[in-house]
A and B are shown apart, each in its own frame.
Chain A
Amino acid sequence: MIIKILGSGCNNCVRLEANARKAAEELGITAEFVKVKEMADIAAYGVMRTPGLVVDEKVVSFGRVLSPEDIKALITK
């Protein structure tokens, strides 16, 4: 599973990544984490509000720092 964090490196992106890592760990999933920092690349996903969360190339959330529980629900959906 590839999990991408979209964001220019602001505080919220860091928090979202930490929560996503925790979610993956608690689910026992080995995921590869990628940071997407270039604005052009972020926009290519259709995301206008950072931070964005992309799981296997599908945008699952944007503009919010989700809790590990919310992310777990999104991954297993």
Chain B
Amino acid sequence: MAFFSFLNNTFLKMTWLNEFVGKLVSDVFNISLESQLGASLQFFIYDVIKIFILLSVLIFTVSYIQSYFPPERTRKILGRYKGFTANLLGALLGTVTPFCSCSSIPLFIGFTSAGLPIGVTFSFLISSPLVDLASVILLASIFNWRIALAYVAVGVFLAVISGTIISKLKMEDQVAPFVYKNSAMPDLEMDELTFKDRIEISIAGVKEIVQKVWLYVLIGVGIGALIHNVIPESFITAILGADKWYSVPLATLVGVPMYADIFGTLPIAEALVSKGVGIGTALSFMMAVTALSLPSIVMLKKVVKNKLLGVFVGLVVTGIIIIGLLFNQFAFYLI
């Protein structure tokens, strides 16, 4: 156990980096770590470096794993199952299939036109951005493994339940007609990737994600540093304190329209929790930001009608609020 905690502190929490940055700020910049500026600076530099190191290593590993689960294969696998099993598999495969919001529409058309029930497709679409392998490891780095695993469990659960309800509502008529016109969508046969291909894909993945998220990370860590050291704790707990029942719905509704990356929202969640905000409130905010955003809703509107879109958004928002409330209630088991 001591060995495990050593690994955790060295590679995930990088406590050595925090000490090193602290020395840099106090000895080289000559700013006291007791001061607001010093403490903010230490948090900012340490968190930015830590997130970029973790991000690069994680995205590389995750892209490598994901190269074995292209959506074409996922679609074939899902086609063999029915009912609840299909929803569960859709949610689980969502966590390992590479996903980019710009591909969500072709993917939706591809799955639906292949005859997959829309509920299964939605299970996949919900879990894919929400429970991504890299974000789980980052959660473990910032909080702990129990919280990270609980997050995976509730994320998959939310995706399965929402998809199952959408299936039960029989909303197949709520899909834009042109989607079904592609029923003859060809099954593309691709050569099996070589080891070299997979390495190339993984490196390209790291480059792409870093280019896409670096700004969000800087902004997120910047806000986190402000929350950590400048904004008074009494102010934050007055609005978002763990004892305020409305903190969870508020954090969820603020997060829904936002388009940011999970890597940018984690430092904000971390800072909020250190200031006495409930872990459930912070997780609700993160889940709302990653699962839903205005751009993704606008895109989805092109392929589904308003009623189905409303049901989808309603289910996800309600689910996130319930998860947040439960986490706040039972947080003492996890910390």
Contacts and interface: CB of A to CB of B under 8 A. Distances in A.
Given A63-B70, A64-B201, A65-B204, A40 B188 contact: no
For chain B, the bracket of interface size reads 20 to 34
Given A40-B109, A43-B110, A64-B201, A48 B72 contact: yes
Interface of B: 70-72, 75, 98, 100, 102-103, 105-107, 109-111, 113, 178-179, 181-182, 185-188, 201, 204, 208, 211, 302-303
Q: Dominant SS at the B interface?
A: helix
Nearest to B111: A48
B182 A40 contact: yes
Interface string A1-29: 00000011011100000000000000000
Q: Which of B72, B102, B302 has the most CB of A within 10 A?
A: B102
Q: Dominant SS at the A interface?
A: loop
B302 A8 contact: no
For chain A, the bracket of interface size reads 20 to 34
B285 to A, nearest CB: 27
Contact of B103 (A44, A45, A50): A50
Given A46-B110, A48-B107, A50-B100, 10 more contacts: A10-B102, A40-B178, A40-B182, A43-B113, A46-B186, A49-B100, A50-B102, A50-B103, A63-B103, A64-B204
Contacts of B204: 64-65
